[in-house]
Amino acid sequence: MFIINAYSLAVVFCVITMICWGSWANTLKLSTRDWPFQLYYWDYSIGLVLTALLLAFTLGSMGSSGRPFVTDLLQAKAQALGSAFLGGVIFNLSNLLIVAATDIAGMAVAFPIAVGLALVIGVVVNYMAVPIGDPWLLFIGLGLVVLAIVIDALAYGKLPSARQSIGKGIILSIISGILMGFFYRFVAASMVEDPAVPAAGKITSYTAMVVFSIGILLSNFLWNTFFMYKPVKGSAVKYGEYFTRGTSRLHLIGIAGGLIWCVGMSFNLIASSQAGYAISYGLGQGATMIAAAWGVFIWKEFAGATRTTNRLLTAMFALFIAGLVMIILAKV
């Protein structure tokens, strides 16, 4: 299996995670012009599972290092498999909430609040479990990122168009962020400490990702069904519409969204063996900045903003970059 042996490469993988996690929702924006996010989400979940399996049978099975995917899966204890699966169930509810918040209030508010809150909770929880890295640099960097998130929310709140829906979007984003802050710990708890010499019973990052993605897909029948019949916006959605309203283009867009997010998560778990779970998760959640950039520069969610708002956005990006640099330096 492919294993990272240098911190510098782990940082590169975390940056790729950041880009993937901050970009996948663009496929949501593209598809929900033509059909509800609940239907998009089925394709997204399928894309996750397919990508996780592809990586497991390629990177997770190549070479002589570590333990290949099938062997790893067969030797795994139920506790490890259950922990990764539960992580998928928790993440799925969190992600559906952030998708709903994005649908209501846009990427520029949903991602900074939800992912930002998840960043704080996730870094603290994972550092307490596995304290790797300089805590001063790590938490100073975390503080700068939190400040950037607050400034981004203030900037969004100054938009007249946001005030009609910002309340519900913020509530959904907060709930999503709390749940998202804890899912990663369940996945990390299922994994081996040293992928090159994997302990018996626990699983490698590739196996964890497959079990995690299956947890997402199966829990869809609970969480997504609820959102289909009790939507936060618009009318109820029926299962039959997935087949009658979906086109090849729409299905492929959804699958692409799952592929993008899954690559990011997989790379993050692979990098965690060198970076540590707190740093790896913290860097990956720099996705907030990437998502905000998409919202500002591509989707024009701040079009017509005042000079004060634009200054707030500039400060937000500067603080994000400074915070992420501090997090990286925590283990240099």
Residue where the block lists tokens 């938009």? 159
Asked if pLDDT for residue 147 goes beyond 70, the answer is yes
Asked if pLDDT for residue 167 goes beyond 80, the answer is no
- The whole-number average pLDDT for the span 147-158 is 79
Residue where the block lists tokens 């990122």? 145
The pLDDT of residue 106: 67
Average pLDDT, the chain: 91
- The whole-number average pLDDT for the span 218-246 is 93
What distance in Å separates the CA atoms of residue 44 and residue 219, rounded to the nearest whole number? 13
Structure tokens at 158: 């100054």
Asked if pLDDT for residue 168 goes beyond 90, the answer is no
Q: 9: how many CB neighbours lie within 10 A of its CB?
A: 14
Asked if pLDDT for residue 164 goes beyond 60, the answer is no
The pLDDT of residue 86: 98
Confidence of residue 156 (pLDDT cuts 50, 70, 90): confident
Structure tokens at 253: 């867009």
CA angle 124-21-101, nearest 5°? 85
How far does CA 129 lie from the centroid of its chain? 20
Q: What is the pLDDT of residues 293-316, one digit of tens each?
A: 888 888 887 777 788 888 999 999
Q: What is the pLDDT of residues 53-99, one digit of tens each?
A: 999 999 999 988 999 999 999 999 999 999 999 999 999 999 899 87
pTM for this entry: 0.92
What distance in Å separates the CA atoms of residue 111 and residue 232, rounded to the nearest whole number? 17
What distance in Å separates the CA atoms of residue 55 and residue 112, rounded to the nearest whole number? 29
Nearest alpha-carbon partner for 227 in 114, 119, 118, 102: 102
The pLDDT of residue 107: 63
CB 142 within 8 A of CB 120: yes
The pLDDT of residue 108: 64
Q: In the chain, what are the domain boundaries? A: 13-329
Q: What is the CA radius of gyration of the chain?
A: 19
What distance in Å separates the CA atoms of residue 214 and residue 89, rounded to the nearest whole number? 9
Q: What is the pLDDT of residues 266-299, one digit of tens each?
A: 999 999 999 999 999 999 988 878 887 888 888 8
Asked if pLDDT for residue 162 goes beyond 60, the answer is no
The pLDDT of residue 269: 97
In 24-160, where does DSSP find H-type helix? 25-31, 37-57, 69-75, 78-105, 107-129, 135-157
Buried (b) or exposed (e) across 213-227, using 16+ Cβ within 10 A? Answer: bbbbbebbeebbeeb
Q: What is the pLDDT of residues 27-60, one digit of tens each?
A: 988 998 888 989 999 999 999 999 999 999 999 9
The pLDDT of residue 52: 98
- The whole-number average pLDDT for the span 241-260 is 96
The pLDDT of residue 189: 97
The pLDDT of residue 285: 85
- The whole-number average pLDDT for the span 19-33 is 89
The pLDDT of residue 165: 56
What distance in Å separates the CA atoms of residue 37 and residue 31, rounded to the nearest whole number? 8
What distance in Å separates the CA atoms of residue 262 and residue 210, rounded to the nearest whole number? 10
The pLDDT of residue 158: 74
Query: What are the residues facing 203 on neighbouring strands?
Result: 191
The pLDDT of residue 234: 82
Q: What is the pLDDT of residues 176-195, one digit of tens each?
A: 999 999 999 999 999 999 99
Percentage of residues of the chain with pLDDT beyond 70:
96
Answer with the residue of higher pLDDT: 240 or 119: 240
